[in-house]
Amino acid sequence: MRPYRTLFDQFLVRSDPERAHHQAFAAIRAARPVLARWGVPGAPVQAMGLTFPNLLGLAAGFDKNAVGIDALAGLGFGHVEVGTVTGEPQPGNPAPRLFRLPVDRAIVNRMGFNNDGAEVVAHRLAARARKRRESASLDAASARRSVLGINIGKTKVVPEDDQSAVHADYAKSTRLLAPYADYLVVNVSSPNTPGLRSLQSVEKLRPLLEHVRATADSVTRSRVPLLVKIAPDLADEDVLAVADMALAIGLDGIIATNTTIARDGLRSHPHDVAEIGAGGLSGAPLAARALEVMRLLKGRVGDRLTLVGVGGITTVEDARARLEAGADLLQGYSAFIYEGPLWPRRIAAGVAAAQTGGGE
């Protein structure tokens, strides 16, 4: 067993999950000067007109406020997706709101889009951009920089049935954040903002995405790729409907999938699961459905969209299976928590080695 996993299973699993997250993230940010000297694992990937240093990214949710992008990239992630960021700052749902199911290597969260809001995050990203421009220490390794994705969602107080208000809310985030994004993601699939998932219906989703597209184009010099993130709980026919809509409006890609509200097939004791309550489940139990959704999407869109596979990817074999199902890029979150800071390098390098016949 790897040392980190032993440490996690014996000690870290007893700590408060949200407090542990903040402590671990602080340690990662503090280690940035050391991480900056590490080489980039894996092989570059071309997608959406961008060059990704490798195929594995960090899913939205870990760095909600864009405070540790470069440190996280130093761990080996080829792209870092920050957010979900909302138009207005909000505290999220009451604690406790983050839970572990160690037996299932899963996490349940009902964070509720807690974040500093688009204005604060935009100022932070502007400062980062200035610092990068002014830096005289950029070398060849830095040139293979991690790609930055920005994930935007609905402010909780905005009623989901007021289309103009929803569009204005997403447009505010888009205006402020698109200029700093390598790609932009519209999140309509978190289960922790009331009514948000109703925006996944094509009738509501299409005009929203078209509005975000137009807004992004109005504030950027070059076209920023736009993707949508969908839930694994969509019926197959709804997955295909989203795929058709994405093609029709010229979307750049789909991220599949977000967390699930399902609790089927868990090994954890039912009492423990019931005691946690509502929230989105991520981690290993999500793998099978996320794989099914990826196959559905690939069968529908072929090579016309970039497909990002996320949900239950833990091992090199998991990663390869998602790629074989049609994913162009991958993301992780829960496995990063359970497997530790060396996990992204292990996956990126392992997949690259397997693709060139070198094994894991």
pLDDT digits (tens, 9 = 90+) for 44-59: 999 999 999 999 999 9
Residue 263 CB neighbours (<10 A):
17
Mean pLDDT of 305-315: 97
Q: Please, which residues have CB within 8 angstroms of residue 231's CB and are 6 or more apart in sequence?
A: 189, 191, 197, 200, 257, 258, 259, 260
Q: Which domains does the chain have, with CATH numbers?
A: 3-355 (3.20.20.70)
pTM for this one?
Answer: 0.93
Q: Which residues are annotated as a binding site for FMN?
A: 60-64, 84, 151, 187, 229, 257, 283, 312, 333-334
Residue (of 276, 277, 282, 278) closest to 231 by Cα position = 282
pLDDT digits (tens, 9 = 90+) for 199-257: 768 888 999 999 999 999 999 999 999 999 999 999 999 999 999 999 999 999 999 99
Mean pLDDT of 288-302: 98
Higher pLDDT, 306 or 354: 306
> Sorting pLDDT into bands at 50, 70 and 90, what band is 140?
very low
pLDDT digits (tens, 9 = 90+) for 176-187: 999 999 999 999
Mean pLDDT of 278-292: 96
Q: Which residues are annotated as a binding site?
A: 60-64, 84, 109-113, 151, 187, 192, 229, 257-259, 283, 312, 333-334
Query: For residue 292, what are its two tokens?
Result: 């099914």
pLDDT exceeds cutoff 60 at 35: yes
Give the pLDDT confidence score for residue 137 in this predicted structure. 52
Give the pLDDT confidence score for residue 340 in this predicted structure. 93
Report angle CA 267, 273, 275 to the nearest 5 degrees: 155
Give the pLDDT confidence score for residue 228 in this predicted structure. 97
Q: Is 15 a catalytic residue?
A: no
Do residues 316 and 350 make contact, with C-beta atoms less than 8 angstroms apart?
A: yes
Q: Which residues are annotated as a binding site for substrate?
A: 64, 109-113, 187, 192, 258-259
Q: How many whole angstroms separate alpha carbon 94 and alpha carbon 91?
A: 8
Residue 75 CB neighbours (<10 A):
23
pLDDT digits (tens, 9 = 90+) for 83-135: 999 999 999 999 999 999 999 999 999 999 999 999 999 999 999 999 888 77
Q: What amino acid is encoded at 94 in this protein?
A: P
Residue with tokens 């950029």: 138
Average per-residue pLDDT in the chain?
92
Q: Please, which residues have CB within 8 angstroms of residue 70's CB and are 6 or more apart in sequence?
A: 32, 36, 128, 146
Higher pLDDT, 210 or 161: 210
pLDDT exceeds cutoff 80 at 146: yes
Give the pLDDT confidence score for residue 201 in this predicted structure. 80
Residue with tokens 């990126």: 348
> Sorting pLDDT into bands at 50, 70 and 90, what band is 136?
very low
pLDDT exceeds cutoff 50 at 353: yes
Mean pLDDT of 286-308: 98
What proportion of the chain, given as a percentage, has pLDDT over 70?
91
Q: Which of 190, 218, 268, 282 is catalytic?
A: 190
Give the pLDDT confidence score for residue 203 in this predicted structure. 84
